Chain A
Amino acid sequence: MTTTIQYADVEIGTELPAQEFPVTRATLVQYAGASGDFNPIHWNEKFAVEVGLPDVIAHGMFTMAEAIRVVTDWVGDPAAVVEYGVRFTKPVIVPNDDKGATIEVSGKVAAKLDDGRVRVDLVATSAGQKVLGMSRAVVQLA
């Protein structure tokens, strides 16, 4: 495990570089194939509306995968993430146009733990709505 960030160099409140992740219908079709989750609410508008959704929504696991990139890009080695959990609070709604939706993610060090570990709290929003709750990662630093 090799991280570019040193435990001694971070403080509670240290902010990680925020990122924005675009998501279109094509992204969702590709993610469905790669993940094996072919639930039609993620690609079929007619089906999504029939089950009471406003439109096609992104896979929660897609949003979770994007959010942790704020951490893995920060530390360099993705294996530094030793724990990662989220609550799916609101769906990311993905309109059928060439713009799609955007997931905005920020993170900051919320606690310094034992053995060179820190807890990073993430905030993920889309269209002004918080889409993940209790989004936390425990990261092993050098």
Chain B
Amino acid sequence: MALDQSFVGRSYPPTDPYEVGREKIREFAEAVRDTNPAYVDPEAAKALGHSDVIAPPTFVFAITFKAAGQVIEDPQLGLDYSRVVHGDQKFAYSRPVRAGDRLTVTSTIEAIKSLAGNDILDIRGEVHDEAGEHVVTAYTKLVSRAAEGA
């Protein structure tokens, strides 16, 4: 069944702050086998003009996707998550995420479309730091595939 269009434009309350730790960034960089010293060595990051180690460009997804859970699990929206695949992902940064950041995410449903029985959901996650400054916006497109025989 097609999702309710009246949810387009709906924003969810900001998440509790997520505190970005140096060791979590290191763990992520190791997991993607990225040896850029700016991710693990504060001195190397400072040499590039950053106040502390910075996170790889896609690191913030773990935070924004968790926040998008508010939308995905909204019982009123009624998305069947077992049929959901990740369609597109985009990030637009004002600055990199860095160790010590306390980040909150505000999720908004940007669009709902129905194509060939598939529900397509666009979620925008605005990420701000403790000072209220914009850090990055994550645009996530989820596709809920049509159930067989539907």
Contact = CB atoms under 8 A, between A and B. Distances in A.
A50 to B, nearest CB: 11
Contact of B89 (A64, A66, A76, A79): A64
A44 interface: no
A61 B50 CA distance: 25
Contacts of B87: 87-88
B31 A35 contact: yes
Contact of A36 (B39, B62, B85): B62
Nearest to B24: A34
Interface residues of A, number: 34
Nearest to A136: B90
B89 A60 contact: yes
A69 B66 CA distance: 24
Contact of A88 (B32, B86, B139): B86
Contacts of A102: none
B92 A78 contact: no
15 contacts: A2-B47, A21-B33, A31-B32, A35-B61, A36-B62, A37-B62, A68-B56, A76-B48, A78-B96, A79-B54, A85-B91, A85-B139, A86-B89, A86-B90, A87-B88
Interface of A: 1-2, 21, 27, 30-31, 33-37, 60-62, 64-66, 68-69, 72-73, 76-79, 81-88, 134
9 interchain residue pairs of minimum CB distance: A85-B90, A34-B31, A79-B96, A65-B32, A65-B58, A77-B48, A31-B31, A34-B28, A30-B31
Interface of B: 24, 27-28, 30-34, 36, 38-39, 47-50, 54, 56-58, 61-62, 65-66, 85-93, 95-96, 139
